[in-house]
């Protein structure tokens, strides 16, 4: 009998476009990843973690993620997160989590006003989280970004607080910030440590053939943590 | 009751759109500074009561129309 496959659903909104890549990556890493439609009011009973994928939910009208935040499935995601469930938001998923107030800060149009699509070097600042356990401290990862609204913002007070709490755990390497995000922040963890959002796309970097397999470290960490919660629950 | 909501990036928030617009205006020969680009939402609220309309629009702004962390808003009510 092989290791149990934790159920990690990937949410799909009209306009999501990275859901299949996320599903493929998670399943290759040992998860069971059904795609869940945005009108569903409940997550599968066995859900061990949830992924909010990249794309342009509801056309990204008004502000990125502002409308997806009110979709029925997000009620279920919020309830899941409130009970300590693991939630990972990638790109548009990150934007939705900030709009929903599950993650701090906000994402603004890139400082360059250009859509950026390229590999970026990143630094992991913490390895004691469910999203980075496969990494080593200070590890540099290469993972692609592709976004027009990735300029993460927090005012000075909030920034200091998050930094002190170790929540700014993924940053662009010096000089490689692709969007003008404050403090070179590429990814943010919530205070409880169970919700993580990032602009780079780990699901697009899970095989050397894609130029990098570093994304598998993040998604693999999530699969490990989800599997652990599974065995803990039994 | 018809209303217009003006949404602006808060002071101090980087506004690359405003900067691009300002730069273009300067290229056209206008002496301008501090251009900021926001958003305008026209809406018809199903009430004739001014206070009620204002209260409802404020809730709309807090819940959906603005992100209070980065945007401020101003409400203009049109007299019927």
Residue of A43, A49, A58 lying closest to A89 (CA atoms): A49
- Asked if residue A102 is part of any domain, the answer here is yes
Contact assessment for residue A152 and residue A113, using Cβ atoms and an 8 Å cutoff:
no
* The predicted structure's pLDDT at residue A230: 80
Predicted confidence (pLDDT) at residue A3 exceeds the cutoff of 90: no
Q: How many beta-carbon pairs below 8 A join chains A and B?
A: 35
Q: What is the CATH number of domain B2-77?
A: 3.30.1280.10
Within 8 A of A155 by CB-CB distance, chain B residues are: 12, 69
Instruction: State pLDDT tens for residues A182-218.
Output: 999 999 999 999 999 999 999 999 999 989 999 999 9
* Predicted complex ipTM: 0.85
- Asked if residue A193 is part of any domain, the answer here is yes
Predicted confidence (pLDDT) at residue A74 exceeds the cutoff of 80: yes
- Asked if residue A5 is part of any domain, the answer here is no
Q: Looking at the annotation, which residues of A are catalytic?
A: 91, 201, 203
Strand (E) or helix (H) holding A107:
strand A106-108
Instruction: State pLDDT tens for residues B1-23.
Output: 999 999 999 998 989 999 999 99
**Distance, in angstroms, between A45 CA and closest chain B CA?**
30
Domain range for A67 is 10-233
Q: Which of B13, B69, B71 has the most A C-beta neighbours within 10 Å, making it the best mutation to test the interface with A?
A: B69
- Asked if residue A71 is part of any domain, the answer here is yes
- Asked if residue A4 is part of any domain, the answer here is no
Residue of A103, A107, A41, A118 lying closest to A74 (CA atoms): A41
- Asked if residue A3 is part of any domain, the answer here is no
Give CA–CA dist B38/B60, Å, rounded: 17
Instruction: Please list the alpha-helical segments (H only) found in A124-214.
Output: 156-164
Going by pLDDT thresholds of 50, 70 and 90, the confidence category of residue B79 is: confident
Closest Cβ–Cβ partner in B13, B16, B20 for A153: B13
Give CA–CA dist A191/B33, Å, rounded: 40
CATH number of the domain bearing residue A44: 3.40.50.880
Q: Which of B8, B16, B38, B71 has the most A C-beta neighbours within 10 Å, making it the best mutation to test the interface with A?
A: B16
Predicted confidence (pLDDT) at residue A154 exceeds the cutoff of 60: yes
Mean pLDDT for all residues in chain B: 95
**Looking at chain B, which residue has its C-alpha nearest residue A62?**
B65
**Average pLDDT for residues B57-62, to the nearest whole number?**
97
Domain count along chain A = 1
Question: How is chain B split into domains, by residue range?
Answer: 2-77
Predicted confidence (pLDDT) at residue A150 exceeds the cutoff of 80: yes
* The predicted structure's pLDDT at residue A59: 92
- CB spacing of B67 vs A66 below 8 angstroms: yes
- Asked if residue A2 is part of any domain, the answer here is no
Strand (E) or helix (H) holding A26:
helix A19-28
**Looking at chain B, which residue has its C-alpha nearest residue A149?**
B16
Give CA–CA dist A82/A78, Å, rounded: 6
Q: What is the DSSP string of chain B?
A: -EEEEEEEEPTTS--HHHHHHHHHHHHTT---------EEEEEE-S-S-HHHHHHHHHHHIIIII--TTTEEEEEEEPP-
Judging by DSSP bridges, how do beta strands A116-124 and A151-153 pair with one another? unpaired
Token duo for residue A25:
């990556």
């Amino acid at each position: 009998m092989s290791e149990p496959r934790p159920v990690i659903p990937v949410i799909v909104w009209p306009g999501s476009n990275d859901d299949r890549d996320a599903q493929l990556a998670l399943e290759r890493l040992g998860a069971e990843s059904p795609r869940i439609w945005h009108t569903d009011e409940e997550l599968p009973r066995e859900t061990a973690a949830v992924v909010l994928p990249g794309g342009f939910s509801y056309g990204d009208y008004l502000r990125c993620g502002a409308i997806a935040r009110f979709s029925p499935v997000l009620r279920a995601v919020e309830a899941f997160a409130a009970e300590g469930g693991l939630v990972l938001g990638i790109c548009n998923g990150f934007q939705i989590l900030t709009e929903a107030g599950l993650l701090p800060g906000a994402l603004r149009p890139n400082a360059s006003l250009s859509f950026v699509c390229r590999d970026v070097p990143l630094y992991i600042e913490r390895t004691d989280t469910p999203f980075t356990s496969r990494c080593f401290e200070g590890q540099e990862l290469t993972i692609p970004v592709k976004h027009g609204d990735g300029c993460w913002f927090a005012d000075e007070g909030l920034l200091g607080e998050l930094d002190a709490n170790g929540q700014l755990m993924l940053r662009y390497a010096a000089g490689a910030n692709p969007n003008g995000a404050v403090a070179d922040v590429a990814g943010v963890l919530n205070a409880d440590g169970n919700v993580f959002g990032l602009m780079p796309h780990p699901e697009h970097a899970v095989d050397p053939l894609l130029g990098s397999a570093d994304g598998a470290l993040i998604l693999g960490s999530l699969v490990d943590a989800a599997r652990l919660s599974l065995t803990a629950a039994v | 009751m018809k209303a217009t909501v003006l949404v602006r990036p808060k002071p101090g928030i980087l506004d690359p759109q405003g900067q691009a617009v300002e730069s273009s205006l300067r290229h056209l020969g206008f002496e301008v500074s501090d251009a900021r680009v926001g958003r305008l939402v026209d809406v018809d609220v199903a009430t004739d009561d001014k206070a009620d309309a204002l209260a409802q629009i404020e809730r709309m702004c807090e819940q959906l129309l603005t992100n209070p962390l980065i945007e401020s808003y101003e409400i203009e009510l049109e007299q019927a």
